[in-house]
Chain A
Amino acid sequence: MKYRIFLCISVLFFVTISISPAETVLKEASFMPQWLPQSQFAGYYVAYEKGIYKKHGLDITIIQGGPDTRPVQMLEEGGVDFVTLWLSTAIRENDRGKKIVSIAQMIQKSALMLIAKKSSGIYKPEDINNKKVSLWGDIFQIQPREFFKKFNLDVTVIPQSYSVNLFLRDGVDVASAMWYNEYHTILNCGYDPGELTTFFYYDYGLNFPEDGLYVMEDYFEENPELCRSFAEASLEGWEYAFEHPEEALDIIIKYMEAAHIPANRVHQKWMLERMKDLMTDGSSAKPSGKLSESDYTYVSNCLKQSGLVNCVPGFSDFYKGPVK
């Protein structure tokens, strides 16, 4: 079947190091984004391709993520040094005893959203009552459940897979979506924005900052400089990607084609543009990479209240990234 055959294809990229007596030896490390190559991770691939990691003294190997990879497990087992995770995932993993720390918070605003068709009669949150809503599992359900609670909605939850076909075929009234991904997919299945009603959790005060960079605490203790260099180089990679979007798209599409996944340039362009919206405040192309303590506290409390976690590390124990 379609998804059965998405095998974990890990592609190792070896960096040829120009050996010169005057240069210091690059420090080796590996990195794995939590999903297949796409513009969501453009900054890292650009930093790699444009030699930004090398410039920071790093010899980085990028391991391809995907639906069948388990980043936290790989981190714990030492299969990879750096991964991207959602903040909520990272907090929960800590509760489960995985000592991972954040070295940069990339996405500042939650891109998670609900989408409904206006033809279903849904224009405002209250209209979702008694409707069929498809949700992704696990931590993707925390924000929607808070949302339903907030508006006192009684809904039928249908598990949502990787596609939005069930929604497109009217199997459900409301579907989950990432702003930078599924929303644009739906537009490119022929729906006009005016035909859709969107609910951004961020707009309803349910902001869960998403992608961040994580390492094992031990690794960070041993290589604090390397970790900081990696975070800084990654931020620079993003800056370069936002400033040179076409070049960044060329790079990311090259990786997508190498991974045999459908590469749709306009979709990747949309995703890259949304990444910029989600990572930067608009004043600069370079993301701050900072995790705000209030966001951390808010997400932690939500997780605790929903019973997903019991114990939350202190902010300074959890966050080792850039500060003011």
Chain B
Amino acid sequence: MIKRKSIAFKLIVYILVSCSALFLGIFWYNYLFSKKIITENISESANNLTRATVNEIDSILYRIQKVPELVAAALERDSFDKDELLNILYAAIECNPEIYGGLISFEPYAFDSESLYFAPYYYKKDGKMELTYLGGESYQYFYLDWYQIPKELKKPAWSEPYYDEGGGNILMATYSVPFYREVDGQRRFMGVVTADVSLMWLQEMIASIKIAKSGYGFLISRNGTFVTHPYNKLIMNETIFSAAEESNNKQLREIGRSMVKGESNFVSFVSMVNEKDSWLSYAPLASSGWSLGVIFPRGELLSDINRLNRVVLLLGFFGSVVLFVILLFIAVSITRPIKILADTTRGIGKGNLDFDLSGIKSRDEVGMLSESFMYMRDSLKKYIRELTETTAVKERMQSELRIAHDIQMGIVPKIFPPFPDRPEFDIYAILEPAKEVGGDFYDFFFMDDEKFCFVVGDVSGKGVPASLLMAITKTLIKTMSKGAAGPNEILSRVNKEIAHDNESSMFITIACGILNIKTGELLYSSGGHPMPLVIRSGGDCDFLKSDTDIVVGIKEDAVYRNNKTHLNPGDIICLYTDGVTEAMNKEEELFNEARLKEAVNAARSGAIKEIVLEIRRKIKEFSEGMPQADDITLLIIKYSGVNEGRKT
């Protein structure tokens, strides 16, 4: 299909498509690569931020941990009475602003063998220290998490966060440290020292994490319970796992499992706030085993690069439009002249050379082509003009030649039989010039009542000069024959006239005979002309045996002799020019005298016109369509005699 489209169309489509493909390829690579780099940078800074936040929280929690740990260490080293114990506890709680309250709890009867419970608890209320003693039928602290977990694990432990409803509904966590004493050589568990810590600062710290517009931080406890989250509904109500169950989100559950195991990672994540694609960076708190997660909203962080990409795409689109316009311009500027040239060429084919290409102004290859066209136009015009002139000249010459031919033909006698009132002989002749006009001629006329003169000549060369000389010669012969005693005298006179002042050095062969139609005596003279063929009525057929003298027109004082023979009634004499015997076939063989003799002999019994035409036919047959090289002239006379002629 595209093969049929115009060059402009192809040019635009191919360039535009390949440029667009190139642009899109580069754009796509650039997009992926820049996205990868930015993602890597975000990942790194996300992990740094998460780790820094975790470290900050840990440093505060570690500081808080030190307080009950120091109290527990003191309890392990020394025994204290109740007042000393209370003083230690009071001091520990009071001078640590982060600590909301704390207690020292003992195993049953471990502090006082009289009492099952002993757990003094100092806490801050409206800025003042308050003391209470925990333990009782409705509060058997031995079985509570804050007591049991460090006891069974034999190491300090952070509790799960909880709301202290009595203390103003603030989020709290308790750090419990077990303490031991040597009893009977054995290290025995004695109780637990705790510190209750408000987690409000933790909530505030994490709430202050803002990434772009919608990024946020959240903290989950060891059990996966949300400690902080922008969705208040989740806090302390849901674990990350129940949230996963509610939204049927398996990925969230897996992330939760990884988080509570204390792992760190940077993963793709769907924000629980706006359900947009995000990243989640998470890391555990080394102190409490809780896990901090920070959401990095992907779309917002990539918004700059996305905007850049949109702008680049838009620029690419406008660039394509501009490219299209430029291509259209180029294509049209190339193809418009070509189209003009094509139309012009079609016009030239129809003969219109009057075209104007000056509208094509470009100096490029197309301009060169149009200049060549102009040059061609001028050359063609010139050539045609010259051709027209030449043709006119040639036509005039041809017409002149045709006229010359007619004139030449008009000079030789052409009416047969020429002397119907002379039964003594019969004569027939043809002259066929090789060109429009030739140098051959024949003639016959009565010199007096008895002497019949006949002549065949051949001017050297052909064409107009030969025909002119032929006309002169023929006229001279007829003129010079007056009062001539024999043919030799005629030839001598003609020769003298022609040879005198013959600057063109042309010559003529002439056979001239004078037949006495009463006696049958034949005088015959040859100026370089082939000997005539004589067919005797008795059956002999041969060339006349006689002397041949020099061609006419070369030598002014040339001498010509007479040959004498006698014709009997029924004899035939055949004169010809060398155009007959030298007619050539394709094998470059000559027709020659032998074939002529044979042809005449074969046709001898017919009327002389038939004999002539038969010979001519044989020559044509022999030459097999080869162009006639020389003028052909045949002249045949049949002598009937006086009596014979009278009888017939």
Using Cβ atoms and an 8 Å threshold, which residues of chain A touch B159?
2, 165
Chain B residue with the shortest CB-CB distance to A270: B245
B126 lies within 8 A of chain A by Cβ: no
Q: Evaluate contact between A190 and B139: CB separation under 8 angstroms.
A: no
Chain A residue with the shortest CB-CB distance to B243: A266
Could you tell me which residues of chain A, from 243 to 299, have a CB within 8 Å of some CB in chain B? 260, 262-267
Q: Evaluate contact between A264 and B165: CB separation under 8 angstroms.
A: no
Chain A residue with the shortest CB-CB distance to B139: A4
CA of A159 to CA of B148, assembled, Å: 9
Q: How many residues of A contact B (CB 8 A)?
A: 31
Q: Which one of A171, A260, A265 lies within 8 Å of B152 (CB-CB)?
A: A171
- B437 smallest CB distance to A (angstroms): 128
Q: Which of B233-241, B300-308, B501-509 contacts A (4 or more CB under 8 A)?
A: B233-241
Contact with B along A182-224 (1 / 0, CB 8 A): 0000011110100000000000000000000000000000000
Using Cβ atoms and an 8 Å threshold, which residues of chain B touch A165?
145, 149, 159-160, 223
CA of A265 to CA of B239, assembled, Å: 11
Contact with B along A127-141 (1 / 0, CB 8 A): 000001000000000
Q: In the complex, which of the residues A2, A159, A187 has the most CB atoms of chain B within 10 Å of its own CB atom?
A: A2
B594 lies within 8 A of chain A by Cβ: no
Q: Evaluate contact between B143 and A159: CB separation under 8 angstroms.
A: yes
Using Cβ atoms and an 8 Å threshold, which residues of chain B touch A192?
257
CA of A262 to CA of B240, assembled, Å: 15
CA of A174 to CA of B222, assembled, Å: 19
Q: In the complex, which of the residues B148, B157, B240 has the most CB atoms of chain A within 10 Å of its own CB atom?
A: B148
Q: Evaluate contact between A132 and B152: CB separation under 8 angstroms.
A: yes
Known: A3-B139, A5-B166, A132-B152. A163 touches B145 (CB 8 A): yes
Q: Which one of B148, B157, B237, B256 lies within 8 Å of A262 (CB-CB)?
A: B237
Q: Evaluate contact between A169 and B222: CB separation under 8 angstroms.
A: yes
Known: A169-B157, A188-B245, A190-B257. A1 touches B144 (CB 8 A): yes
Using Cβ atoms and an 8 Å threshold, which residues of chain A touch B452?
none
CA of A4 to CA of B142, assembled, Å: 13
B293 lies within 8 A of chain A by Cβ: no
- B121 smallest CB distance to A (angstroms): 8
The A interface, classified by DSSP as helix, strand, loop or mixed, is loop
Could you tell me which residues of chain B, from 423 to 442, have a CB within 8 Å of some CB in chain A? none
A158 lies within 8 A of chain B by Cβ: yes
Known: A2-B162, A132-B152, A189-B260. A161 touches B246 (CB 8 A): no
A170 lies within 8 A of chain B by Cβ: yes
Known: A132-B152, A264-B238. A166 touches B246 (CB 8 A): no
Using Cβ atoms and an 8 Å threshold, which residues of chain B touch A265?
246
Using Cβ atoms and an 8 Å threshold, which residues of chain B touch A188?
224, 239, 241-242, 245
B138 lies within 8 A of chain A by Cβ: yes
CA of A168 to CA of B224, assembled, Å: 11
- B389 smallest CB distance to A (angstroms): 112
Q: Which one of A168, A171, A189, A266 lies within 8 Å of B148 (CB-CB)?
A: A171
Q: Which one of B134, B145, B223, B245 lies within 8 Å of A4 (CB-CB)?
A: B134
B400 lies within 8 A of chain A by Cβ: no
CA of A165 to CA of B160, assembled, Å: 8
Chain A residue with the shortest CB-CB distance to B221: A189
Using Cβ atoms and an 8 Å threshold, which residues of chain B touch A132?
152
Contact with A along B146-189 (1 / 0, CB 8 A): 10110111000101101011100000001000000000000000
Q: Evaluate contact between A1 and B146: CB separation under 8 angstroms.
A: yes
The number of chain B residues touching the other chain, given as a range, is: 35 or more
Q: Evaluate contact between A161 and B144: CB separation under 8 angstroms.
A: yes
Using Cβ atoms and an 8 Å threshold, which residues of chain B touch A158?
148, 152
Q: Which one of A5, A160, A168, A264 lies within 8 Å of B223 (CB-CB)?
A: A168
A177 lies within 8 A of chain B by Cβ: no
CA of A188 to CA of B225, assembled, Å: 9
Could you tell me which residues of chain A, from 71 to 123, have a CB within 8 Å of some CB in chain B? none
A63 lies within 8 A of chain B by Cβ: no
Q: Evaluate contact between B236 and A262: CB separation under 8 angstroms.
A: yes
- B239 smallest CB distance to A (angstroms): 5
Q: Evaluate contact between B223 and A189: CB separation under 8 angstroms.
A: yes
Known: A1-B144, A161-B143. A166 touches B257 (CB 8 A): no
Q: Evaluate contact between A170 and B153: CB separation under 8 angstroms.
A: yes
CA of A161 to CA of B139, assembled, Å: 11
CA of A262 to CA of B134, assembled, Å: 25
Using Cβ atoms and an 8 Å threshold, which residues of chain B touch A62?
none
Contact with B along A1-37 (1 / 0, CB 8 A): 1111100000000000000000000000000000000
Using Cβ atoms and an 8 Å threshold, which residues of chain B touch A172?
152
CA of A84 to CA of B146, assembled, Å: 31
Q: Evaluate contact between A161 and B148: CB separation under 8 angstroms.
A: yes
Chain A residue with the shortest CB-CB distance to B148: A166
A68 lies within 8 A of chain B by Cβ: yes
Q: Evaluate contact between A266 and B149: CB separation under 8 angstroms.
A: no
Using Cβ atoms and an 8 Å threshold, which residues of chain A touch B143?
159-161
Q: Evaluate contact between A4 and B149: CB separation under 8 angstroms.
A: no
- B576 smallest CB distance to A (angstroms): 134
Using Cβ atoms and an 8 Å threshold, which residues of chain B touch A166?
145, 148-149, 152
Q: Evaluate contact between B223 and A159: CB separation under 8 angstroms.
A: no
Known: A3-B144, A4-B134, A264-B242. A189 touches B224 (CB 8 A): yes
Chain B residue with the shortest CB-CB distance to A159: B143
Chain B residue with the shortest CB-CB distance to A132: B152
Known: A163-B145, A166-B145, A190-B223. A1 touches B241 (CB 8 A): no
CA of A4 to CA of B136, assembled, Å: 11
CA of A262 to CA of B238, assembled, Å: 8
Using Cβ atoms and an 8 Å threshold, which residues of chain B touch A262?
236-237
Contact with A along B112-138 (1 / 0, CB 8 A): 000000000000000000000010001
- A33 smallest CB distance to B (angstroms): 20
Using Cβ atoms and an 8 Å threshold, which residues of chain A touch B166?
4-5
- A253 smallest CB distance to B (angstroms): 10
CA of A266 to CA of B247, assembled, Å: 10
- B256 smallest CB distance to A (angstroms): 6
A-B contacts, 22 listed (Cβ < 8 Å)? A1-B146, A2-B162, A4-B134, A158-B152, A161-B144, A161-B145, A161-B148, A163-B160, A165-B145, A165-B159, A165-B160, A166-B152, A169-B149, A171-B149, A188-B224, A188-B239, A189-B223, A189-B239, A190-B223, A262-B237, A263-B237, A267-B242
Going nearest first, the 3 A-B pairs with the smallest beta carbon separation are A171-B152, A189-B223, A5-B166
Binding site for B on A (CB under 8 A): 1-5, 68, 132, 158-161, 163, 165-166, 168-172, 187-190, 192, 260, 262-267
Other than the given A165-B160, A189-B223, 9 more pairs (CB < 8 A) read A4-B166, A5-B166, A68-B138, A165-B145, A166-B152, A171-B151, A190-B253, A262-B237, A263-B237
